[in-house]
Structures are given as C-alpha cells and as structure tokens.
Amino acid sequence: MRRFWLVLLAVFLVLACLTGCAPSKRVEILPGPSPTPGGLNIAQAQQALPSASPSQQPSAPAEASQEPQESEENAGRPTPPPPVTEDSKIVYLTFDDGPSKNTEALLEVLAEKQVPATFFILGTNADDHPERVEAIAAAGHLVANHTYSHQTDEIYQSADALLADIEKCAETIRSILGEEYPTDLFRFPYGSTNKACRDYRQAVREAGYRYFDWNALNGDAETGTYKRTPEELMERFKETVDDVDGRKNEVIVLMHDTGSKENTVKMLGDAIDYLKELGYEFRTLEYAQMKD
C-alpha cells in the first residue's frame, strides 16, 4: 500500500513539472493604426512594456513598425500638383508691384479662403519692407520677380538694362528668403506683349527666366479709368473671367498689391468665391508651363 502511494506521488510530481515547464506560446502583435490622432498603436504600446528576454522577442523585424522616410532630395519640398489637362480648370491669382501696406490684408483674405497666390514683387519695395516678403512666403504663397525698379523708361532701353534690373530683384529676393529660393519666375512690367519690351523676350528666356502675362483681371490699374469701387472691380473681374471660362483651362488673374488698392482687398473674397463656384482649382505659378 505504501509503494502505491509513493508511485502515485511520483506520477503527480512528474505531471506538475511537465505542466509548469512547458513553453508558453507568444502571440506576435504587428503594428496597427493609431486608435486616435496622436495615440499609441498596438506595437508602440507593446514596446512600452518591460522588455522580455532575448528568446521571447518577436520575430518580426524592427523596420516593420517604422514609417517610410522622406528622401533627402524631396525633403521640405511640396509635392508637385497633377499636370494640367484639357479637362482642368486651374486659376492663378497674381498680385503685382508689392509688397505694400495692403499686403497683410490680402494675406488675411487668402488665409480665410484657404487659397494660394503668386506675388510679383518689386525689389525696391522688398528692400524697404523685407518683413512683408517674409510674410508672403511664410503663408505659403509664391514670391516672384517683377524687376527691381519698374522704371520702364530705363529698363526697356536694352536687353542688358532689363536683365540687370531683373537680376537685382532676384538678388533681393534671395537675400530675404535664402539663396535656395527660386527666382526664375518673372513678369514684365505692363506685360510681355508691350511694344517697348517685346524684343527682349528671347533674351529673358535665354537668361533662364520664365515669364507670365495674364488673361483675366479686375481692372484695378487699367489705363484711363478712375478709381473703381469694389463693386466695379468685381464686375470687371467677372467680365474677363467669363470671357475665358470654358475656352482656357488655365486662368491667370492680374491684380495689384499697392498702397492705393484697398478696394482690391475688399473685393478679393467675393472674387475667390466666384471662381470656386465655377469649379476652379487654385495654384501658384511655381509649376506652371510658360506659353510661347
């Protein structure tokens, strides 16, 4: 009888040892989406726990929980927009002659409506108010070149005179926004079809600049007109936009950023709403293609 109990006790001890020493199965938890913005995903929560012994570490490679790294070449650069097609409706809002005392007000309207714009600035004004140029760029808009002086009786005397003035403005932009800031975007004072400068277009292209005119405007600087009210500017704006809507897949709107253009600020919000109603997508001219 005593031997029976000794055998039974030995069997019990063997069974207990086998049960207690059996390796436990580890469930591998793979990375998953965060349950809330800024929250930990499952893999991150697991990493916050005390570390297990080397034999208990998950077999999945550590790289599985890492997000793709941005390439050095594209670091800090916005993703280029889709190319313009025949079905596109793209609008570029542009403001010439700034910066001015109205720049801040224009930026406020653009921020409220959440649309970008291109500012063709003058070097003289930029030298006087570099903080306004910085504000334009900091808000995500494009700063572009409209010559340094805008003195057409001097800069349109020769291609060399024009290019020297353009480069002086480019140097000013780089001195404010950094040497890497693009300065190849240009607009001729009074447009590239003006008879005083049309012979210089090839020289400007060969110097590496892209230039852009416009095909719509609000009339805030049209020759021979008195100072238009916001309502009159809006009427002129609609007239010129409607003229190209449906015929052109890209609309470039000319407006001005000078101290006397308070009414442009006042009508800008309504103009943007009108373009949105027509189905236009707003872009800067950074990736636009220059038309010959």
Residue 68 falls within a domain, yes or no?
no
Residue 20 lies in a domain: no
Residue 195 lies in a domain: yes
Q: What is the mean pLDDT of residues 93-118?
A: 98
Q: Who has greater pLDDT, 2 or 230?
A: 230
Give yes or no for residue 57 having a pLDDT over 50: no
Mean pLDDT on 113-125: 98
Mean pLDDT (whole number) for 235-259: 97
Quick one: average pLDDT of 257-277?
Answer: 97
Spatial distance between the Cα atoms of 133 and 123, rounded to a whole number of angstroms: 10
3-state SS class at 144: strand
Lowest mean pLDDT among 39-53, 111-125, 217-231: 39-53
Q: Output the pLDDT for position 257.
A: 98
* Residue 70 pLDDT > 50: no
| More confident call, 56 vs 97 | 97
Whether residue 2 is predicted with pLDDT greater than 50 in this model: the reply is yes
Amino acid 1: pLDDT: 53
More confident residue, 153 or 224: 153
> 71 lies in a domain?
no
Domain total of the chain = 1
* More confident call, 245 vs 80: 245
Between 245 and 225, the higher pLDDT residue: 245
Note the pLDDT of residue 227. 86
Is 108 within a domain? yes
Specify if 214 maps to a domain: yes
DSSP H or E run through 216: strand 216-217
The model carries a pTM of: 0.74
What domain range includes position 132?
Answer: 90-287
pLDDT attached to residue 64: 37
The overall average pLDDT reported for the chain is 81
Going by DSSP bridges, is the β-strand pair 142-145/118-121 parallel, antiparallel, or unpaired? parallel
For residue 27, which amino acid is it?
V
Q: Is residue 161 scored above 50 in pLDDT?
A: yes
Kindly tell me if the per-residue pLDDT of 39 is higher than 90: no
Q: Is the pLDDT of residue 140 over 90?
A: yes
- Tokens in use for 53? 């012994």
Provide mean pLDDT across the span 175-202.
Answer: 96
Residue 44 lies in a domain: no
What is the reported pLDDT for 52? 37
Q: How many CB atoms lie within 10 A of CB 258?
A: 20
Q: Where is 165: in which H helix or E strand?
A: helix 159-177
* Residue 192 counted as domain residue: yes
Q: How much is the pLDDT for 13?
A: 58
What's residue 200's pLDDT? 97
**Section 60-66 average pLDDT:** 39
**Residue 161, domain CATH:** 3.20.20.370
Q: How confident is the model at residue 224 (pLDDT cuts 50, 70, 90)?
A: confident
**Mean pLDDT calculated for residue range 174-194:** 96
Closest CA to 209 of 163, 141, 255, 177: 163
* DSSP SS3 for 96: strand
Three-state DSSP class for residue 183: coil
